Amino acid sequence: MTDGAVQVIRSADRTILRLPDVTSRGSFPFAGNFDLVENAHGMLLVHNEDTVDAGAGFDRHTHRDMEIITWVVSGSLVHRDSLGNVGVLTSGSAQRMTAGSGISHAEYNDSWTVSGLPRHRDPVTVVQMWIPPDSLGLEPDYQDLPLDDALSGGDLVTVVSGMARHAGGTVGRIRNEHVALHAARLEPGQSVSVPESPYGHVFLTRGAVDFEGAGRLEHGDAVRLSRSGGQSVTALEPTELLIWEMDARAGSVR
């Protein structure tokens, strides 16, 4: 294990924004006039865990010059965008969106049919993460990433990456050469190791683990790592976790 800074962020310490049909828990300041780069960890600018009630969602809105990755924790999410993409994502799926010169999209709980009759009344929970792109004004792009089968083996699975070593594979491509996002589903006793990197971010979407050097972590807890990595993460119960590997920090490569 490489020596470095390890900071645990407990679930209860996150900022909570409660709307009538949406509850958003943010690991970084994201609403109002906050400087996203100033409050980032590594390249990670935004990290929100959003729970959306049945019949609710986010109406069409526009993003520019941002790489947006959404991970579905539970339930199902409908995505529609100005490029003509329409899809339904379920647990164990991710979507990668290059906002670039501008893309408009809407996302909502997949609880209603076209006729307006309820399919189900379950909430959907997602983790949305923002990463700055290498260049401004890129051509907008969108990609669905179903990973349920790949996660079944208990290994660390690369979800998206812009790093050279992942080029040419089946990994989702993100337009930032300094980052990679990994995910794992672990049964009790199974372990993965955190990649060694100048910056890292580990988040538990569910379950509980023993994190080497930091002790027990539970759903909603996160670890921010600097000049560190190699720690063993061992599941204490059925667990899902997301790990960002980053070799630079936001604002340092412009």
Q: Would you state the pLDDT for residue 59?
A: 87
What's the confidence (pLDDT) of residue 116?
Answer: 63
* Domain-wise residue ranges, the chain: 5-246
DSSP code at position 121: -
Given CA atoms 157, 15, 133, 226 in this order, what sign does their dihedral have?
A: negative
- C-alpha 20/C-alpha 56 separation (Å) is 9
DSSP for 217-250 reads: EETT-EEEEEEEB--EEEESSSEEEEEEEESS-T
Looking at domain 5-246, its CATH superfamily turns out to be Jelly Rolls (2.60.120.10)
pLDDT confidence of residue 195? 95
What is residue 155's predicted lDDT score, i.e. its pLDDT? 94
pLDDT value of residue 119: 72
Strand, helix or coil at 143?
A: strand
Average pLDDT of adjacent 10-residue blocks, the chain of 254 residues: 80 91 86 74 95 88 95 93 91 94 92 66 93 96 92 94 83 93 97 96 98 96 92 98 95 69
Q: What is the pTM of this model?
A: 0.92
pLDDT of residue 55: 83
Q: Where do the DSSP E strands lie in 19-171?
A: 22-26, 46-52, 57-63, 67-74, 76-81, 86-90, 93-98, 103-109, 124-131, 141-146, 157-161
Is 105 annotated in some ligand binding site?
yes
Distance CA 232, CA 35 (A): 33
Query: Does the annotation list 63 as a binding residue?
Result: yes
Query: Under the phi-then-psi rule, with left for phi > 0, alpha for psi from -120 to 50, and beta for the rest, what region is 195?
Result: beta
Task: Please enumerate, as own/partner, the contacts of 236-239 that have beta carbons within 8 Å and a separation of 24 or more.
Answer: 236/188, 236/207, 236/208, 236/209, 236/210, 237/188, 237/207, 237/208, 238/185, 238/186, 238/187, 238/188, 238/206, 238/207, 239/185, 239/186, 239/204, 239/206, 239/207, 239/208, 239/209
Q: Please report the pLDDT score of residue 113 as a whole number.
A: 60
3-state secondary structure of 130: strand
